[in-house]
Chains A and B, each alone.
Chain A
Amino acid sequence: MEEQRYIVFLFPSVSYALKAEKILKAAGTAHKLIPVPRHISSDCGVCLRTTEDKQLDVAGELLGRVKWDKVVLL
């Protein structure tokens, strides 16, 4: 079986990430709040990690409710 790849949603600020987390939690979508990986940013920020196959689900949940900057494949 191919190993599942992870992606991260990057947000303009911590409060956006928190709001997104609340939405995903309520929707029961698997995710994890993690520090933004060092190779992406030197800021001490957090981002939402999910598996690549969940990208559309997550985007669908967040669309129109929380703005995100970009999605990066880990």
Chain B
Amino acid sequence: MPVNIDSRGLACPEPVIMAKKAIEENEQITVLVDNDMAVENIRRLALKMACSFSVTEREAGMWEIALTRTGAVAHLPPGSLEDELSCAVVAGKETGPLVVVLSDNHMGRGDDVLGDILIRSFVHTLLQLKPLPYKVICYNSGVKLAVKDSTVLDDLQQLEKDGVDILVCGTCVNYFEIGDQVAAGHISNMYDIAETMAGAGRLMRP
């Protein structure tokens, strides 16, 4: 039987710290949370601690997360979890998760050759941000960054491995006829894109 944890009403980083403690002591746990930042933080925890992760939205604004250990219990070095938590961005009332918008396959206007170098540097540098962005959205020609022969594909794939959700605009890949070449992120729609942008504390657009 999984151990049940109710972290509703608790502020970040409490839910993820409770989850970490519980999964270190138990094979299987479920955690109830009431904010999507906690879902995100626990998802990253699962990645780091080799746990399977599944989340179900029980009702509006209330999620049940199930974690099951898939390997030996991983003990994270002290401080390593706290460094990556996204609490900092939700601490202030005017802020929320950081969302990166890639609306073009170049960075800036003026010269496309230069813009190509800049976007490659930009995406590579995203990997070094702490905390990492919550989500990356690709639309218009930005979707070309997520296809097989993209020069930033390896960086986008690494971001995904590190727990960043990458939304790729379905209309756009359809328009460019590259639907079969998308190799990072998942195809998304305007509802998710608009909701993600509306819920972001900060939007970062290179």
Interface residues of A (CB under 8 A from B): 14, 17-18, 32-35, 46
Cα-based distance from A32 to B121 in the complex (angstroms): 10
List of B residues within 8 angstroms of A32 by Cβ: 124, 154
Interface residues of B (CB under 8 A from A): 113-114, 117, 120-121, 124-125, 151, 154
- Does A35 lie within 8 Å of B121, measured CB to CB? yes
| Distance (whole angstroms) from the CB of B154 to the closest CB of chain A | 8
Indicate the member of B114, B117, B154 with the most A CB atoms within 10 Å. Answer: B117
- Does B121 lie within 8 Å of A46, measured CB to CB? yes
Cα-based distance from A58 to B79 in the complex (angstroms): 40
List of B residues within 8 angstroms of A18 by Cβ: 113, 117
- Does B151 lie within 8 Å of A33, measured CB to CB? yes
Cα-based distance from A14 to B151 in the complex (angstroms): 17
Whose C-beta in chain A lies nearest to the C-beta of B120?
A33
Cα-based distance from A55 to B117 in the complex (angstroms): 22
- Does B113 lie within 8 Å of A34, measured CB to CB? no
Give the secondary structure class of B's interface.
Answer: helix
Whose C-beta in chain B lies nearest to the C-beta of A21?
B117
List of A residues within 8 angstroms of B154 by Cβ: 32
Cα-based distance from A31 to B61 in the complex (angstroms): 45
List of A residues within 8 angstroms of B125 by Cβ: 35
List of A residues within 8 angstroms of B121 by Cβ: 33-35, 46
Q: Assuming A14-B117, A32-B124, what are 6 further A-B pairs, CB within 8 angstroms?
A: A33-B117, A33-B151, A34-B120, A34-B121, A34-B124, A35-B125
| Distance (whole angstroms) from the CB of A31 to the closest CB of chain B | 11
Cα-based distance from A17 to B125 in the complex (angstroms): 18
| Distance (whole angstroms) from the CB of A40 to the closest CB of chain B | 14
8 contacts between A and B (CB under 8 A): A14-B114, A18-B117, A32-B124, A32-B154, A34-B120, A34-B121, A35-B125, A46-B121
List of A residues within 8 angstroms of B120 by Cβ: 33-34
Cα-based distance from A34 to B125 in the complex (angstroms): 8
- Does B124 lie within 8 Å of A35, measured CB to CB? yes
| Distance (whole angstroms) from the CB of A22 to the closest CB of chain B | 11
Cα-based distance from A56 to B48 in the complex (angstroms): 37
Cα-based distance from A18 to B115 in the complex (angstroms): 12
List of B residues within 8 angstroms of A46 by Cβ: 117, 121
| Distance (whole angstroms) from the CB of A34 to the closest CB of chain B | 5
Cα-based distance from A18 to B117 in the complex (angstroms): 8
List of B residues within 8 angstroms of A35 by Cβ: 121, 124-125
| Distance (whole angstroms) from the CB of A52 to the closest CB of chain B | 18
| Distance (whole angstroms) from the CB of A70 to the closest CB of chain B | 20
